[in-house]
Amino acid sequence: MFMAQTLGDAFAFAAIEEIKEKMKIVKHKILVLSGKGGVGKSTFSAHLAYGLAKDETKQVALLDIDICGPSIPKIMGIEGEQVHQSGSGWSPVYVEENLCVMSVGFLLSGPDDAVIWRGPKKNGMIKQFLRDVDWGEIDYLIVDTPPGTSDEHLSIVQYLSSSNIDGAVIITTPQEISLQDVRKEINFCHKVKLPIIGVVENMSGFVCPKCKTESQIFPPTTGGAEKMCQNLNISLLGKVPLDPQIGKSCDQGQSFFSEIPESPATSSYRNIIQRIQEYCGLHHSQEKLSNQGME
Amino acid sequence: MEEIDYICNLAGVGHILLVLSGKGGVGKSTISTELALALRHVGKKVGILDVDLCGPSIPQMLKVQGKGVHQCDSGWVPVFVDQDKSISLMSIGFLLEKPDDAVVWRGPKKNALIKQFISDVTWGDLDFLIVDTPPGTSDEHISAVESLRPYKPLGAVLVTTPQAVSVGDVRRELTFCKKTGLQVIGIVENMSGFVCPHCLECTNLFSKGGGEELARHAGVPFLGCVPLDPQLTQSLEEGRDFIQEFPKSSAFPALAHIAQQILDRTSPQGS
């Protein structure tokens, strides 16, 4: 699929091989995608990382490749941290002993600093993140992406093409204007042969704190993610209701699992994370079997 | 020869306005559409240029998805969305074979199409051209600003939701405006409060006040708060006549006020 037709392609190839070596010590790679902006990708990525890192025997890494809008440092309460270089590469920022993060956010001089880059420069940054960061041995590498189907998405798939991505988790909200973009993202995944772990429907219903009646803030006029998943034969991993505390926790750089442990949103998330872990476990066994078959 | 054609297609446009945000999902396309309708409500002719190539939302909002784009001698004819032709629209959405087709393009190809959209669409006489953008500060934004520079855009309206994670990205968009010499007309705080239709209790779903605070901090005008109206969202979704329903929405007064502030900027005493 990625035949070298230009010198540029040849350089990309070299990078792919270098990255393959680096990724050998990363057991599972999960991309978090959406066609649509503002559906909760970064919130999901951060909390997937927190959830997986609850098992202290696992090493979890979160790579934020939203170069223009890096939200992960703020969401995880590590805004303003710096990245250091050593002989073995760039050191990621540790949130917990077994959870580290890399984002362009750490390379900016301040909150007003904008990354006004065209595609090729963004691609270069992503390559560096994969090749030059000293991740160490990782059980789960989660990659948070910007909305769309462009440079960042093509690059991450291309650079990881020899490194076996477990799959993509696709985030949406219930309304058709989101699903429209999400279907495009699903098409993108099919085009680049990226397996889809499943879809998460976020902001799915809001319970008024006063009268306890449920409202649909983003009405699922075309059946929501459930109908879309049925039509496209993709797994619906779960639905997460809109809890205003989630936004607040993210703004404060706190995990909402610890801030609102009793919220229905927290239990939805935990179920979804479990399903992702099961998928990865199955994927790992299947891979082992096929490798053994090849020997 | 080419230069004359280049000038012709935007020659009849009174004012060009960009709608930006660093952040996705804050309602840029919705606000672009609502602003166009609010300006139309006071008798203005408005064009909308949708340069979100990966996620073109506006054709669906105005119930014109699936329409074809015709060519004339001077270029592409935009799609009219209403009977009296007071709102016209151009979007990559009209050029896709199937609505679920993904536009998986790297920067250079996106830049080329944006340049074409700016030079080759025959807008005719418009009071306002609103340019809706995708989130970020990358190819689409750089290309749009560079191509529009000769036509001296009025400026940019920046949309945010109230919470800090959004405001954080919009701060960077303000820097983009500064660096590219694009004047900031002001900041809109969208999804600012949700009124429960059952008990009328107002909940701040995505916090409150972040947009206003940012405007104060950055020394730019604060254009107003727009509340979340799920009925309006539903109307957009179901392709109901948004143009008729919009004036009855709880979001309308805020949008009318924003439109008025923009109109004030275009009057001789305004700037």
Contact B144, B118 (CB under 8 A): yes
In chain B, which residue's Cα lies nearest the Cα of A71? B165
How high is the ipTM of this complex? 0.83
Polymer length in residues for chain A? 295
Share of chain B above pLDDT 90, in %: 47
Query: Letter for the amino acid at B23?
Result: K
- Residues in chain A within 8 Å Cβ distance of B103: 149, 184
CB contact under 8 A, B201 and A211: yes
Contact A11, A2 (CB under 8 A): no
Q: What is the pLDDT of residues B84-121, one digit of tens each?
A: 899 999 998 888 877 777 888 888 888 899 999 999 99
- Residues in chain B within 8 Å Cβ distance of A180: 55, 57, 60, 99-100
- Residues in chain A within 8 Å Cβ distance of B228: 217
Instruction: Name the region of B89 (left: φ>0; alpha: ψ -120 to 50; beta: rest).
Output: beta
CA distance B146 to B127: 21
In chain A, which residue's Cα lies nearest the Cα of B230? A217
Contact A40, B26 (CB under 8 A): no
In chain A, which residue's Cα lies nearest the Cα of B205? A244
- Quote the mean pLDDT of chain B: 87
Q: How many helices (H) and strands (E) does chain B have?
A: 10, 12
User: What is the value of pTM for the model shown?
Assistant: 0.89
Q: Residue positions of A in the annotated binding site for [4Fe-4S] cluster?
A: 208, 211
What is A162-190 written as a DSSP string? TS---EEEEEE-SSHHHHHHHHHHHHHHH
- Helical H segments across chain B, by residue range: 2-11, 28-41, 58-61, 107-120, 139-148, 164-180, 210-218, 230-237, 242-245, 252-266
Judged against a pLDDT cut of 80, whether residue B4 lies above it is answered with no
Residues of chain A with confidence (pLDDT) below 70: 1-6, 8, 287-288, 291, 293-295
User: Which pLDDT score is estimated for A5?
Assistant: 59
User: Which pLDDT score is estimated for A283?
Assistant: 80
The secondary structure of B155-208, three-state, reads: EEEEEECCCHHHHHHHHHHHHHHHHHCCCEEEEEECCCCEECCCCCCEECECEC
User: Which pLDDT score is estimated for B7?
Assistant: 53
| Partner-chain residue, chosen from B60, B172, B205, that has the shortest CB–CB distance to A242 | B205
User: Which pLDDT score is estimated for B1?
Assistant: 45
Contact B183, B154 (CB under 8 A): yes
Structure tokens at A71: 């939200």
